Amino acid sequence: MPHITAEQFNALMRAQIPLAAFLGITALEIGAGLAVLRLPFTPAALRPGGVQSGPALMALADLAMYAAVMGLYGNEPRVVSSDLSMNFLRRAPDQVLLGRSTVLGLDAKRALARTEIVPETGDGRLICLVTANFALP
């Protein structure tokens, strides 16, 4: 059983993470060490040229990993990312995106997680691959 539900995580984001609300990011699923978050297509996330911006994709990935860690570690808002590596593999299509995150390792001081960003519909080809370490309180 996860330590935080999607509903609880969505409430946390609404109350404490204004960027998530601005971008419309929502948690669809949270389990023990996994999470799926949704980034709707919005002009707020575009950069010049009509491309979905790196900061919006990074927000989706970071929040998905944060949710996955909390799903395994517990409802602890003080979990923070300590480093993040993002590989852009192709241009994000003009549609809803999903961030699918998995915790790869967890010890007393840190968690390592990975997020794959994919389109919600269509070919499902990977857009970004993101890894991050999270410091645990």
Task: Enumerate residues 6+ apart whose C-beta is below 8 A from 11.
Answer: none
pLDDT in tens, 81-92: 999 999 999 999
pLDDT in tens, 106-118: 998 999 999 999 9
Report the C-alpha gap between 1 and 72 in whole angstroms.
9
Q: What's the first-to-final CA gap in the chain, in angstroms?
A: 21
Say if 109 falls within a structural domain. Answer: yes
The angle formed by the CA atoms of residues 24, 43 and 11, to the nearest 5 degrees, is 5
Say if 130 falls within a structural domain. Answer: yes
Say if 106 falls within a structural domain. Answer: yes
Say if 1 falls within a structural domain. Answer: no
The three-state secondary structure class of 82 is strand
Domains of the chain: total = 1
Say if 36 falls within a structural domain. Answer: yes
Domain with residue 42: its CATH number is 3.10.129.10
Residue-level pLDDT at 86: 97
